[in-house]
Chain A
Amino acid sequence: MKCQEVMELIQRHLDQELTKQELEAMNGHLKQCAACAGMYARMEQLSEDLVSLPKVSPAYSLVDHILPRLQEIDELRSQGMDLDDNGRPLNEQSVAERESGLLGRLKRATFVKAASGIAAAAVLVLVVVTAVQPSGSQLDNAGEARLDAADSASANQLAYDSDSNNRVKATSGSDNSQASKSSAYPEDSAPPEAEAHLFRQAPDSGTESSGDTSMDSFGNAGGQPDVAVEDQGPSAPVSSDGEPASQQPQEGYVPLADDKLDTSEEGQGISSQEAPSEPGLMEPRYAMNDQPVEASSSSEVERLETSMSSSGELTAYIEESSGLYRLAVHETSTGAALYVGSFMETQDVPVLTWSEEEDSLVIMRYKLEDETYRLAVNARERSEDNIQE
Protein backbone atom coordinates (compact mmCIF):
# COMPACT_ATOMS: atom_id res chain seq x y z
CA MET A 1 0.00 0.00 0.00
CA LYS A 2 1.25 3.44 -0.91
CA CYS A 3 1.74 6.10 1.72
CA GLN A 4 -0.58 8.40 -0.16
CA GLU A 5 -3.40 5.88 0.13
CA VAL A 6 -2.70 5.56 3.82
CA MET A 7 -3.07 9.31 4.21
CA GLU A 8 -6.58 9.02 2.83
CA LEU A 9 -7.33 6.22 5.27
CA ILE A 10 -6.00 8.28 8.15
CA GLN A 11 -8.25 11.13 7.15
CA ARG A 12 -11.28 8.89 6.91
CA HIS A 13 -10.37 7.26 10.18
CA LEU A 14 -10.64 10.64 11.86
CA ASP A 15 -14.27 10.70 10.77
CA GLN A 16 -14.83 7.08 11.84
CA GLU A 17 -15.45 6.03 8.28
CA LEU A 18 -13.17 3.03 7.90
CA THR A 19 -14.37 -0.51 7.45
CA LYS A 20 -12.74 -3.23 9.50
CA GLN A 21 -10.61 -4.32 6.56
CA GLU A 22 -9.46 -0.81 5.85
CA LEU A 23 -8.58 -0.32 9.48
CA GLU A 24 -6.48 -3.46 9.47
CA ALA A 25 -4.76 -2.47 6.26
CA MET A 26 -3.95 0.93 7.69
CA ASN A 27 -2.62 -0.45 10.96
CA GLY A 28 -0.54 -2.97 9.05
CA HIS A 29 1.11 -0.20 7.09
CA LEU A 30 1.63 2.00 10.13
CA LYS A 31 3.64 -0.76 11.80
CA GLN A 32 6.09 -0.81 8.93
CA CYS A 33 6.24 2.84 7.99
CA ALA A 34 7.59 5.27 10.54
CA ALA A 35 6.72 8.31 8.42
CA CYS A 36 3.06 7.34 8.19
CA ALA A 37 2.97 6.39 11.86
CA GLY A 38 4.21 9.87 12.72
CA MET A 39 1.63 11.39 10.44
CA TYR A 40 -1.07 9.25 12.02
CA ALA A 41 -0.10 10.39 15.51
CA ARG A 42 -0.07 14.03 14.50
CA MET A 43 -3.41 13.80 12.72
CA GLU A 44 -5.00 12.08 15.71
CA GLN A 45 -3.61 14.74 17.99
CA LEU A 46 -4.88 17.46 15.70
CA SER A 47 -8.33 15.94 15.61
CA GLU A 48 -8.49 15.78 19.39
CA ASP A 49 -7.33 19.35 19.67
CA LEU A 50 -9.88 20.56 17.16
CA VAL A 51 -12.63 18.82 19.09
CA SER A 52 -11.51 20.46 22.30
CA LEU A 53 -11.22 24.00 20.95
CA PRO A 54 -12.78 26.40 23.46
CA LYS A 55 -16.51 26.75 22.95
CA VAL A 56 -16.44 30.50 23.16
CA SER A 57 -19.50 32.60 24.02
CA PRO A 58 -20.13 36.27 23.46
CA ALA A 59 -19.06 38.59 26.27
CA TYR A 60 -22.55 40.08 26.51
CA SER A 61 -25.94 39.19 25.13
CA LEU A 62 -25.94 40.11 21.47
CA VAL A 63 -29.72 39.98 21.30
CA ASP A 64 -30.05 42.52 24.11
CA HIS A 65 -27.62 44.68 22.26
CA ILE A 66 -29.57 44.65 19.01
CA LEU A 67 -33.05 44.96 20.55
CA PRO A 68 -33.28 48.71 19.86
CA ARG A 69 -32.29 48.04 16.27
CA LEU A 70 -34.95 45.36 15.97
CA GLN A 71 -37.50 47.80 17.37
CA GLU A 72 -36.46 50.31 14.75
CA ILE A 73 -36.86 47.72 12.02
CA ASP A 74 -40.39 46.98 13.23
CA GLU A 75 -41.25 50.66 13.16
CA LEU A 76 -39.89 51.17 9.67
CA ARG A 77 -41.84 48.17 8.52
CA SER A 78 -45.03 49.37 10.10
CA GLN A 79 -44.58 52.56 8.08
CA GLY A 80 -44.60 50.41 5.01
CA MET A 81 -40.93 50.85 4.22
CA ASP A 82 -39.16 48.24 2.16
CA LEU A 83 -36.10 47.03 4.03
CA ASP A 84 -33.02 45.18 2.97
CA ASP A 85 -31.51 42.13 4.66
CA ASN A 86 -29.89 44.30 7.26
CA GLY A 87 -33.09 46.08 8.12
CA ARG A 88 -32.17 49.34 6.43
CA PRO A 89 -34.47 51.18 4.05
CA LEU A 90 -33.65 50.13 0.55
CA ASN A 91 -32.74 53.49 -0.98
CA GLU A 92 -30.34 54.26 1.85
CA GLN A 93 -28.75 50.92 1.51
CA SER A 94 -27.90 51.43 -2.10
CA VAL A 95 -25.90 54.47 -1.08
CA ALA A 96 -24.13 52.60 1.67
CA GLU A 97 -23.35 49.87 -0.75
CA ARG A 98 -21.96 52.18 -3.33
CA GLU A 99 -19.81 53.83 -0.74
CA SER A 100 -18.46 50.61 0.60
CA GLY A 101 -17.56 49.57 -2.90
CA LEU A 102 -15.93 52.86 -3.63
CA LEU A 103 -14.08 53.05 -0.35
CA GLY A 104 -13.10 49.45 -0.66
CA ARG A 105 -11.48 50.32 -3.94
CA LEU A 106 -9.74 53.32 -2.59
CA LYS A 107 -8.43 51.52 0.44
CA ARG A 108 -6.95 48.82 -1.66
CA ALA A 109 -5.74 51.31 -4.20
CA THR A 110 -3.68 48.72 -5.99
CA PHE A 111 -4.04 50.73 -9.13
CA VAL A 112 -3.35 54.30 -8.41
CA LYS A 113 -4.40 55.23 -11.88
CA ALA A 114 -7.86 53.79 -11.49
CA ALA A 115 -8.15 55.03 -7.94
CA SER A 116 -7.24 58.59 -8.74
CA GLY A 117 -10.00 58.85 -11.32
CA ILE A 118 -12.60 57.56 -8.92
CA ALA A 119 -11.19 59.59 -6.07
CA ALA A 120 -11.48 62.69 -8.17
CA ALA A 121 -15.09 61.80 -8.80
CA ALA A 122 -15.63 61.30 -5.06
CA VAL A 123 -14.17 64.71 -4.33
CA LEU A 124 -16.47 66.22 -6.85
CA VAL A 125 -19.49 64.63 -5.24
CA LEU A 126 -18.41 66.34 -2.07
CA VAL A 127 -17.83 69.62 -3.82
CA VAL A 128 -21.06 69.59 -5.75
CA VAL A 129 -22.89 68.83 -2.55
CA THR A 130 -21.28 71.69 -0.69
CA ALA A 131 -22.09 73.89 -3.61
CA VAL A 132 -25.72 72.86 -3.64
CA GLN A 133 -26.46 72.79 0.05
CA PRO A 134 -25.95 76.45 0.98
CA SER A 135 -28.56 77.42 -1.58
CA GLY A 136 -31.05 75.73 0.71
CA SER A 137 -32.69 73.48 -1.85
CA GLN A 138 -34.08 70.38 -0.18
CA LEU A 139 -33.59 67.87 -2.92
CA ASP A 140 -34.90 64.38 -2.72
CA ASN A 141 -31.45 62.97 -2.46
CA ALA A 142 -30.11 65.54 -0.05
CA GLY A 143 -29.76 62.89 2.61
CA GLU A 144 -27.97 60.70 0.18
CA ALA A 145 -25.63 63.47 -0.72
CA ARG A 146 -24.78 64.18 2.88
CA LEU A 147 -24.04 60.54 3.39
CA ASP A 148 -21.72 60.66 0.44
CA ALA A 149 -19.94 63.60 1.90
CA ALA A 150 -19.48 62.06 5.31
CA ASP A 151 -18.48 58.65 4.12
CA SER A 152 -16.04 59.84 1.57
CA ALA A 153 -14.07 61.77 4.13
CA SER A 154 -11.34 59.20 4.07
CA ALA A 155 -11.63 58.86 0.34
CA ASN A 156 -10.98 62.54 0.27
CA GLN A 157 -7.73 62.05 2.03
CA LEU A 158 -6.61 59.75 -0.69
CA ALA A 159 -7.99 61.97 -3.35
CA TYR A 160 -6.04 64.81 -1.93
CA ASP A 161 -2.83 62.96 -2.49
CA SER A 162 -3.59 61.72 -5.92
CA ASP A 163 -5.39 64.67 -7.37
CA SER A 164 -4.66 67.74 -5.36
CA ASN A 165 -4.96 70.04 -8.32
CA ASN A 166 -8.47 69.03 -8.97
CA ARG A 167 -9.36 69.46 -5.35
CA VAL A 168 -8.00 72.95 -5.12
CA LYS A 169 -9.75 73.99 -8.26
CA ALA A 170 -12.99 72.47 -7.08
CA THR A 171 -13.06 73.93 -3.59
CA SER A 172 -12.39 77.43 -4.83
CA GLY A 173 -14.92 77.36 -7.62
CA SER A 174 -17.97 76.83 -5.52
CA ASP A 175 -20.16 79.33 -7.33
CA ASN A 176 -19.64 77.65 -10.63
CA SER A 177 -20.76 74.17 -9.88
CA GLN A 178 -21.76 73.47 -13.45
CA ALA A 179 -18.27 74.11 -14.68
CA SER A 180 -16.58 72.08 -12.00
CA LYS A 181 -19.00 69.26 -12.56
CA SER A 182 -18.11 68.94 -16.20
CA SER A 183 -14.40 69.27 -15.74
CA ALA A 184 -14.37 67.10 -12.69
CA TYR A 185 -15.07 63.74 -14.17
CA PRO A 186 -12.09 62.74 -16.17
CA GLU A 187 -13.07 61.19 -19.44
CA ASP A 188 -11.95 57.77 -18.45
CA SER A 189 -13.75 57.53 -15.16
CA ALA A 190 -17.43 57.15 -14.65
CA PRO A 191 -19.37 59.49 -12.39
CA PRO A 192 -20.51 57.95 -9.12
CA GLU A 193 -24.02 57.16 -10.34
CA ALA A 194 -22.77 55.11 -13.22
CA GLU A 195 -20.30 53.52 -10.89
CA ALA A 196 -23.01 52.31 -8.58
CA HIS A 197 -24.99 50.99 -11.45
CA LEU A 198 -22.09 49.04 -12.72
CA PHE A 199 -21.59 47.42 -9.36
CA ARG A 200 -25.09 46.17 -9.14
CA GLN A 201 -25.01 44.70 -12.57
CA ALA A 202 -21.57 43.29 -12.25
CA PRO A 203 -22.43 39.59 -11.97
CA ASP A 204 -24.19 39.65 -15.32
CA SER A 205 -22.34 42.15 -17.38
CA GLY A 206 -18.81 41.68 -16.14
CA THR A 207 -17.72 44.69 -18.11
CA GLU A 208 -14.78 45.30 -15.89
CA SER A 209 -13.03 42.04 -16.35
CA SER A 210 -13.71 41.61 -20.02
CA GLY A 211 -10.09 42.23 -20.80
CA ASP A 212 -8.53 39.57 -18.69
CA THR A 213 -7.81 37.15 -21.44
CA SER A 214 -6.28 39.63 -23.80
CA MET A 215 -2.60 40.00 -24.63
CA ASP A 216 -0.28 37.80 -22.69
CA SER A 217 -1.67 35.40 -20.18
CA PHE A 218 -0.33 37.20 -17.16
CA GLY A 219 -0.93 40.69 -18.47
CA ASN A 220 -3.64 42.22 -16.41
CA ALA A 221 -4.87 38.96 -15.04
CA GLY A 222 -2.81 39.18 -11.89
CA GLY A 223 -4.00 42.57 -10.90
CA GLN A 224 -7.30 43.30 -12.44
CA PRO A 225 -9.33 40.87 -10.40
CA ASP A 226 -8.08 42.64 -7.31
CA VAL A 227 -10.38 45.38 -8.33
CA ALA A 228 -13.02 43.54 -10.23
CA VAL A 229 -13.54 40.41 -8.23
CA GLU A 230 -13.11 41.65 -4.74
CA ASP A 231 -15.44 44.49 -5.25
CA GLN A 232 -18.04 42.63 -7.16
CA GLY A 233 -18.06 39.78 -4.76
CA PRO A 234 -19.05 41.35 -1.50
CA SER A 235 -21.12 44.19 -2.83
CA ALA A 236 -22.95 42.77 -5.77
CA PRO A 237 -24.54 39.63 -4.36
CA VAL A 238 -25.43 41.35 -1.10
CA SER A 239 -27.65 43.83 -2.78
CA SER A 240 -31.10 42.56 -2.21
CA ASP A 241 -32.82 45.54 -3.68
CA GLY A 242 -34.99 43.48 -5.91
CA GLU A 243 -32.68 42.76 -8.79
CA PRO A 244 -31.04 39.56 -7.64
CA ALA A 245 -34.21 38.42 -5.99
CA SER A 246 -36.02 38.54 -9.27
CA GLN A 247 -33.54 36.18 -10.85
CA GLN A 248 -34.19 32.51 -11.05
CA PRO A 249 -32.24 30.78 -8.31
CA GLN A 250 -30.58 28.65 -10.99
CA GLU A 251 -29.20 31.73 -12.63
CA GLY A 252 -28.11 33.41 -9.47
CA TYR A 253 -26.22 30.35 -8.42
CA VAL A 254 -22.91 30.04 -10.13
CA PRO A 255 -21.71 26.54 -9.38
CA LEU A 256 -18.11 25.87 -8.57
CA ALA A 257 -16.26 23.88 -11.12
CA ASP A 258 -16.15 21.25 -8.41
CA ASP A 259 -19.89 21.19 -8.47
CA LYS A 260 -20.09 20.33 -12.07
CA LEU A 261 -17.77 17.41 -11.66
CA ASP A 262 -19.24 16.14 -8.48
CA THR A 263 -22.83 16.42 -9.40
CA SER A 264 -22.42 14.91 -12.81
CA GLU A 265 -20.29 12.02 -11.64
CA GLU A 266 -21.88 11.18 -8.38
CA GLY A 267 -25.16 12.96 -8.38
CA GLN A 268 -24.95 13.45 -4.66
CA GLY A 269 -23.88 17.04 -4.48
CA ILE A 270 -26.16 19.97 -4.01
CA SER A 271 -27.21 20.72 -7.53
CA SER A 272 -28.44 24.10 -8.49
CA GLN A 273 -31.99 22.80 -8.60
CA GLU A 274 -31.77 21.54 -5.06
CA ALA A 275 -30.20 24.76 -3.98
CA PRO A 276 -32.09 26.22 -1.09
CA SER A 277 -34.98 28.40 -1.99
CA GLU A 278 -34.54 31.42 0.26
CA PRO A 279 -34.21 34.03 -2.43
CA GLY A 280 -32.37 36.64 -0.42
CA LEU A 281 -29.90 34.07 0.75
CA MET A 282 -29.00 32.64 -2.57
CA GLU A 283 -25.67 34.35 -2.41
CA PRO A 284 -23.20 32.73 -4.71
CA ARG A 285 -20.32 33.53 -2.40
CA TYR A 286 -18.82 30.16 -2.67
CA ALA A 287 -18.52 30.44 -6.35
CA MET A 288 -16.41 33.54 -6.28
CA ASN A 289 -13.56 31.67 -7.89
CA ASP A 290 -15.52 31.63 -11.06
CA GLN A 291 -16.00 35.33 -11.34
CA PRO A 292 -13.13 36.64 -13.39
CA VAL A 293 -13.49 34.26 -16.25
CA GLU A 294 -17.17 33.52 -15.98
CA ALA A 295 -17.92 37.17 -16.08
CA SER A 296 -16.19 37.74 -19.35
CA SER A 297 -17.39 34.71 -21.22
CA SER A 298 -19.91 32.85 -19.15
CA SER A 299 -21.80 31.48 -22.12
CA GLU A 300 -18.95 29.71 -23.86
CA VAL A 301 -16.39 28.65 -21.27
CA GLU A 302 -16.90 25.54 -19.23
CA ARG A 303 -14.71 24.29 -16.44
CA LEU A 304 -13.84 20.66 -16.85
CA GLU A 305 -11.29 20.02 -14.18
CA THR A 306 -10.40 21.69 -10.92
CA SER A 307 -7.30 21.05 -8.92
CA MET A 308 -6.01 22.77 -5.84
CA SER A 309 -2.35 23.07 -4.95
CA SER A 310 -1.21 21.11 -1.92
CA SER A 311 -1.13 24.24 0.21
CA GLY A 312 -4.62 25.13 -0.99
CA GLU A 313 -3.48 28.59 -1.98
CA LEU A 314 -3.94 28.17 -5.70
CA THR A 315 -6.62 26.52 -7.75
CA ALA A 316 -6.07 25.47 -11.34
CA TYR A 317 -8.80 24.85 -13.87
CA ILE A 318 -9.05 23.26 -17.27
CA GLU A 319 -11.51 25.36 -19.20
CA GLU A 320 -13.14 24.42 -22.45
CA SER A 321 -14.63 26.56 -25.15
CA SER A 322 -15.75 25.31 -28.58
CA GLY A 323 -13.58 22.23 -28.30
CA LEU A 324 -10.46 24.16 -27.32
CA TYR A 325 -8.88 24.00 -23.90
CA ARG A 326 -6.94 26.36 -21.70
CA LEU A 327 -5.36 26.47 -18.27
CA ALA A 328 -6.33 29.02 -15.65
CA VAL A 329 -4.78 29.48 -12.23
CA HIS A 330 -6.59 31.42 -9.55
CA GLU A 331 -5.77 32.35 -6.01
CA THR A 332 -8.08 30.20 -3.95
CA SER A 333 -8.85 32.65 -1.18
CA THR A 334 -9.67 35.66 -3.32
CA GLY A 335 -10.62 34.00 -6.59
CA ALA A 336 -8.30 36.37 -8.38
CA ALA A 337 -7.05 35.02 -11.70
CA LEU A 338 -3.29 34.88 -11.66
CA TYR A 339 -2.90 33.18 -14.99
CA VAL A 340 -5.25 32.56 -17.87
CA GLY A 341 -3.74 30.71 -20.81
CA SER A 342 -4.85 30.91 -24.38
CA PHE A 343 -7.23 28.33 -25.76
CA MET A 344 -5.49 25.56 -27.67
CA GLU A 345 -6.33 22.55 -29.71
CA THR A 346 -5.66 19.22 -28.03
CA GLN A 347 -6.47 15.63 -28.73
CA ASP A 348 -8.17 14.88 -25.41
CA VAL A 349 -9.09 16.79 -22.32
CA PRO A 350 -5.81 17.94 -20.74
CA VAL A 351 -4.85 16.63 -17.31
CA LEU A 352 -3.73 18.70 -14.35
CA THR A 353 -1.06 17.86 -11.80
CA TRP A 354 0.66 19.96 -9.22
CA SER A 355 4.41 19.70 -8.88
CA GLU A 356 5.64 17.88 -5.79
CA GLU A 357 8.73 20.02 -5.52
CA GLU A 358 7.48 23.47 -6.34
CA ASP A 359 4.29 24.47 -4.58
CA SER A 360 2.95 27.01 -7.07
CA LEU A 361 3.86 25.00 -10.16
CA VAL A 362 1.01 23.36 -11.98
CA ILE A 363 1.43 21.12 -15.01
CA MET A 364 -1.16 20.67 -17.72
CA ARG A 365 -0.47 17.63 -19.87
CA TYR A 366 -2.13 17.37 -23.24
CA LYS A 367 -1.85 15.39 -26.43
CA LEU A 368 -1.55 16.62 -29.97
CA GLU A 369 -1.02 14.25 -32.89
CA ASP A 370 -0.20 11.48 -30.42
CA GLU A 371 2.62 13.47 -28.86
CA THR A 372 2.40 14.49 -25.22
CA TYR A 373 3.13 18.05 -24.24
CA ARG A 374 3.35 19.72 -20.91
CA LEU A 375 2.54 23.28 -20.11
CA ALA A 376 4.11 24.14 -16.76
CA VAL A 377 2.98 27.34 -15.14
CA ASN A 378 4.12 28.92 -11.94
CA ALA A 379 1.50 31.59 -11.48
CA ARG A 380 3.29 33.13 -8.53
CA GLU A 381 6.56 33.54 -10.33
CA ARG A 382 4.86 34.23 -13.62
CA SER A 383 6.74 31.57 -15.49
CA GLU A 384 5.29 29.56 -18.32
CA ASP A 385 6.95 26.66 -20.06
CA ASN A 386 5.45 24.62 -22.87
CA ILE A 387 7.48 21.62 -24.00
CA GLN A 388 7.08 18.27 -25.66
CA GLU A 389 7.62 15.34 -23.35
Chain B
Amino acid sequence: MVEQDQIKAAQSGDRDALVTLLRDIETHVYRTAYYILGNEQDAMDAAQEALIRIYTKIQTYEEKAQFKTWVQRIVTNICIDKFRRTKPTVSIDEHNMVFQTERDVEDEIVSTYIAKDIHEAIQKLPEHHRAVVVLRYLQDFSYNEIADSLNLPLNTVKSYLYRARQQLQSLLHEYQKGGVRG
Protein backbone atom coordinates (compact mmCIF):
# COMPACT_ATOMS: atom_id res chain seq x y z
CA MET B 1 0.00 0.00 0.00
CA VAL B 2 2.66 2.47 1.00
CA GLU B 3 6.26 2.61 -0.07
CA GLN B 4 8.92 2.43 2.59
CA ASP B 5 10.86 5.16 0.77
CA GLN B 6 7.96 7.49 1.10
CA ILE B 7 7.71 6.82 4.81
CA LYS B 8 11.43 7.43 5.20
CA ALA B 9 11.15 10.71 3.33
CA ALA B 10 8.21 11.72 5.50
CA GLN B 11 10.13 10.86 8.63
CA SER B 12 13.12 12.85 7.53
CA GLY B 13 10.99 15.98 7.32
CA ASP B 14 9.69 15.95 3.73
CA ARG B 15 6.30 17.49 4.35
CA ASP B 16 4.94 16.76 0.88
CA ALA B 17 5.83 13.12 1.26
CA LEU B 18 4.02 13.03 4.58
CA VAL B 19 0.90 14.67 3.18
CA THR B 20 0.91 12.25 0.24
CA LEU B 21 1.25 9.42 2.70
CA LEU B 22 -1.80 10.65 4.57
CA ARG B 23 -3.75 10.85 1.34
CA ASP B 24 -2.85 7.25 0.59
CA ILE B 25 -4.19 6.01 3.89
CA GLU B 26 -7.14 8.28 4.56
CA THR B 27 -9.74 5.95 3.09
CA HIS B 28 -8.46 3.01 5.12
CA VAL B 29 -8.45 5.09 8.25
CA TYR B 30 -11.95 6.35 7.61
CA ARG B 31 -13.31 2.89 6.83
CA THR B 32 -12.20 1.47 10.14
CA ALA B 33 -13.59 4.44 12.00
CA TYR B 34 -16.88 4.18 10.16
CA TYR B 35 -17.45 0.55 11.05
CA ILE B 36 -16.31 0.87 14.64
CA LEU B 37 -18.27 4.01 15.40
CA GLY B 38 -21.24 3.23 13.19
CA ASN B 39 -21.90 6.63 11.70
CA GLU B 40 -20.38 9.02 9.22
CA GLN B 41 -19.96 12.09 11.38
CA ASP B 42 -18.11 10.40 14.22
CA ALA B 43 -16.04 8.51 11.67
CA MET B 44 -15.02 11.75 9.96
CA ASP B 45 -13.97 13.26 13.28
CA ALA B 46 -12.08 10.19 14.43
CA ALA B 47 -10.35 9.72 11.08
CA GLN B 48 -9.18 13.32 11.04
CA GLU B 49 -7.91 13.02 14.57
CA ALA B 50 -6.05 9.88 13.58
CA LEU B 51 -4.48 11.54 10.55
CA ILE B 52 -3.34 14.47 12.67
CA ARG B 53 -1.88 12.08 15.19
CA ILE B 54 -0.05 10.22 12.45
CA TYR B 55 1.26 13.54 11.18
CA THR B 56 2.64 14.48 14.58
CA LYS B 57 3.90 11.02 15.51
CA ILE B 58 5.42 9.86 12.25
CA GLN B 59 8.89 10.02 13.80
CA THR B 60 7.95 7.35 16.31
CA TYR B 61 7.03 4.79 13.68
CA GLU B 62 9.66 2.08 13.47
CA GLU B 63 10.16 -0.08 10.45
CA LYS B 64 9.99 -3.34 12.34
CA ALA B 65 6.22 -2.90 12.56
CA GLN B 66 4.11 -2.80 9.44
CA PHE B 67 3.01 0.71 8.62
CA LYS B 68 -0.57 -0.33 8.07
CA THR B 69 -0.87 -2.02 11.46
CA TRP B 70 0.69 1.02 13.10
CA VAL B 71 -1.88 3.22 11.39
CA GLN B 72 -4.76 0.96 12.35
CA ARG B 73 -3.67 0.88 15.94
CA ILE B 74 -3.86 4.64 16.08
CA VAL B 75 -7.30 4.82 14.54
CA THR B 76 -8.80 1.97 16.59
CA ASN B 77 -7.51 3.49 19.81
CA ILE B 78 -9.03 6.83 18.95
CA CYS B 79 -12.32 5.21 18.01
CA ILE B 80 -12.55 3.19 21.17
CA ASP B 81 -11.85 6.27 23.25
CA LYS B 82 -14.43 8.20 21.35
CA PHE B 83 -16.94 5.45 21.62
CA ARG B 84 -16.50 5.22 25.37
CA ARG B 85 -16.95 8.91 25.75
CA THR B 86 -20.08 9.25 23.67
CA LYS B 87 -21.82 6.04 24.54
CA PRO B 88 -20.80 5.14 28.06
CA THR B 89 -23.53 2.58 28.61
CA VAL B 90 -26.02 1.36 26.11
CA SER B 91 -28.28 -1.29 27.50
CA ILE B 92 -29.36 -4.23 25.45
CA ASP B 93 -33.00 -3.32 26.06
CA GLU B 94 -32.63 -0.03 24.28
CA HIS B 95 -31.04 -1.83 21.38
CA ASN B 96 -33.87 -4.28 21.07
CA MET B 97 -36.37 -1.50 20.92
CA VAL B 98 -34.53 0.12 18.07
CA PHE B 99 -34.36 -3.17 16.28
CA GLN B 100 -38.08 -3.77 16.46
CA THR B 101 -39.11 -0.42 15.16
CA GLU B 102 -36.78 -0.52 12.21
CA ARG B 103 -37.63 -3.95 11.07
CA ASP B 104 -40.72 -3.58 8.88
CA VAL B 105 -38.84 -2.46 5.78
CA GLU B 106 -37.06 -5.73 5.33
CA ASP B 107 -39.99 -8.08 5.35
CA GLU B 108 -39.51 -9.55 1.93
CA ILE B 109 -35.87 -10.34 2.45
CA VAL B 110 -35.80 -13.52 4.41
CA SER B 111 -33.05 -15.67 3.03
CA THR B 112 -30.28 -13.10 2.95
CA TYR B 113 -29.23 -10.52 5.43
CA ILE B 114 -28.80 -7.05 4.13
CA ALA B 115 -25.86 -4.82 4.81
CA LYS B 116 -27.87 -2.61 7.13
CA ASP B 117 -28.68 -5.54 9.39
CA ILE B 118 -25.07 -6.57 9.61
CA HIS B 119 -24.04 -3.02 10.17
CA GLU B 120 -26.43 -2.77 13.09
CA ALA B 121 -25.41 -6.14 14.45
CA ILE B 122 -21.75 -5.12 14.36
CA GLN B 123 -22.63 -2.13 16.48
CA LYS B 124 -23.92 -4.48 19.15
CA LEU B 125 -20.61 -6.26 19.56
CA PRO B 126 -18.31 -5.39 22.44
CA GLU B 127 -15.68 -2.93 21.24
CA HIS B 128 -12.74 -5.31 21.02
CA HIS B 129 -14.76 -7.86 19.10
CA ARG B 130 -15.94 -5.16 16.76
CA ALA B 131 -12.42 -3.94 16.15
CA VAL B 132 -11.29 -7.47 15.32
CA VAL B 133 -14.15 -7.97 12.85
CA VAL B 134 -13.48 -4.62 11.19
CA LEU B 135 -9.77 -5.28 10.75
CA ARG B 136 -10.44 -8.78 9.49
CA TYR B 137 -13.16 -7.99 6.98
CA LEU B 138 -12.72 -4.35 6.07
CA GLN B 139 -8.94 -4.21 6.12
CA ASP B 140 -8.31 -7.84 5.11
CA PHE B 141 -5.87 -8.22 7.97
CA SER B 142 -4.45 -11.58 9.00
CA TYR B 143 -4.68 -12.78 12.60
CA ASN B 144 -1.12 -11.62 13.12
CA GLU B 145 -1.74 -8.20 11.71
CA ILE B 146 -4.81 -7.81 13.90
CA ALA B 147 -2.81 -8.92 16.91
CA ASP B 148 -0.16 -6.30 16.12
CA SER B 149 -2.71 -3.58 15.57
CA LEU B 150 -4.70 -4.21 18.70
CA ASN B 151 -1.79 -5.27 20.85
CA LEU B 152 -3.53 -8.51 21.67
CA PRO B 153 -2.21 -12.07 21.76
CA LEU B 154 -2.93 -14.14 18.68
CA ASN B 155 -5.17 -16.55 20.55
CA THR B 156 -7.22 -13.72 21.93
CA VAL B 157 -7.70 -12.37 18.44
CA LYS B 158 -8.97 -15.74 17.28
CA SER B 159 -11.31 -16.18 20.19
CA TYR B 160 -12.66 -12.65 19.76
CA LEU B 161 -13.24 -13.29 16.08
CA TYR B 162 -14.99 -16.59 16.74
CA ARG B 163 -17.21 -15.11 19.42
CA ALA B 164 -17.97 -12.09 17.30
CA ARG B 165 -19.05 -14.21 14.36
CA GLN B 166 -21.12 -16.44 16.59
CA GLN B 167 -22.80 -13.44 18.12
CA LEU B 168 -23.42 -11.83 14.73
CA GLN B 169 -24.86 -15.04 13.45
CA SER B 170 -27.25 -15.33 16.34
CA LEU B 171 -28.30 -11.68 16.10
CA LEU B 172 -28.97 -11.99 12.40
CA HIS B 173 -30.77 -15.27 12.88
CA GLU B 174 -33.11 -13.62 15.38
CA TYR B 175 -33.53 -10.87 12.89
CA GLN B 176 -34.59 -13.26 10.17
CA LYS B 177 -37.07 -14.94 12.42
CA GLY B 178 -38.48 -11.52 13.19
CA GLY B 179 -38.76 -10.89 9.47
CA VAL B 180 -40.73 -14.09 8.94
CA ARG B 181 -43.03 -13.29 11.80
CA GLY B 182 -43.60 -9.69 10.67
Partner-B contacts on A (CB < 8 A): 7-8, 11, 14-15, 39, 42-43, 45-47, 49-59, 61-63, 65-67, 69-70, 73-74, 83-87, 100, 104, 108, 226, 230, 233-234, 238, 253, 256, 258-259, 262-263, 266, 268-270, 275-281, 283, 285-286, 308, 310-313, 332-334
Contacts and interface: CB of A to CB of B under 8 A. Distances in A.
B151 A286 contact: yes
B128 A286 contact: yes
Interface of B: 15, 19, 22-23, 26-27, 29-31, 34-35, 40, 43-44, 47-49, 51-53, 55-57, 60-62, 65, 70, 73-74, 77, 80-81, 84-85, 88-89, 92, 112-113, 115, 118-119, 125-129, 133, 136-138, 143, 147-148, 150-156, 159, 161-169, 172-173
Contacts of A280: 57, 60
Contacts of B162: 8, 11
Given A11-B162, A63-B23, A85-B57, 18 more contacts: A7-B166, A42-B172, A46-B172, A53-B118, A57-B31, A66-B48, A73-B55, A86-B52, A226-B88, A234-B85, A258-B152, A270-B151, A275-B151, A276-B151, A280-B57, A281-B70, A286-B151, A313-B126
Interface centre among B47, B84, B137 (most CB of A within 10 A): B84
Contacts of B154: 262, 266, 268-270
Contacts of A333: 126-127
Contact of A58 (B44, B148, B151, B155): B44
Contacts of B127: 333
Contact of B169 (A43, A253, A266): A43
Contacts of A52: 115
Nearest to A56: B34
Contact of A234 (B22, B81, B128): B81
Given A281-B57, A283-B77, A55 B113 contact: no
Contact of A49 (B113, B161, B163): B113
A226 B22 CA distance: 36
A278 B35 CA distance: 26
A87 B57 CA distance: 9
A104 B82 CA distance: 12
Given A46-B172, A62-B44, A256-B152, A276 B49 contact: no
B56 A73 contact: yes
Given A234-B81, A269-B154, A63 B118 contact: no
A276 B70 contact: yes
Contacts of A84: 56
Contact of B19 (A63, A69, A281, A312): A63
14 contacts: A50-B168, A53-B119, A58-B47, A66-B52, A73-B56, A85-B57, A86-B56, A87-B52, A281-B60, A308-B159, A312-B163, A312-B167, A313-B92, A332-B126
B140 to A, nearest CB: 9
Given A58-B30, A262-B155, A276-B151, A234 B52 contact: no
A230 to B, nearest CB: 6
A270 B56 contact: no
B36 to A, nearest CB: 12
A87 B56 contact: yes
Nearest to A275: B151
Nearest to A234: B81
Nearest to B26: A62
Contact of B62 (A87, A277, A312): A277
Contacts of A56: 30-31, 34-35
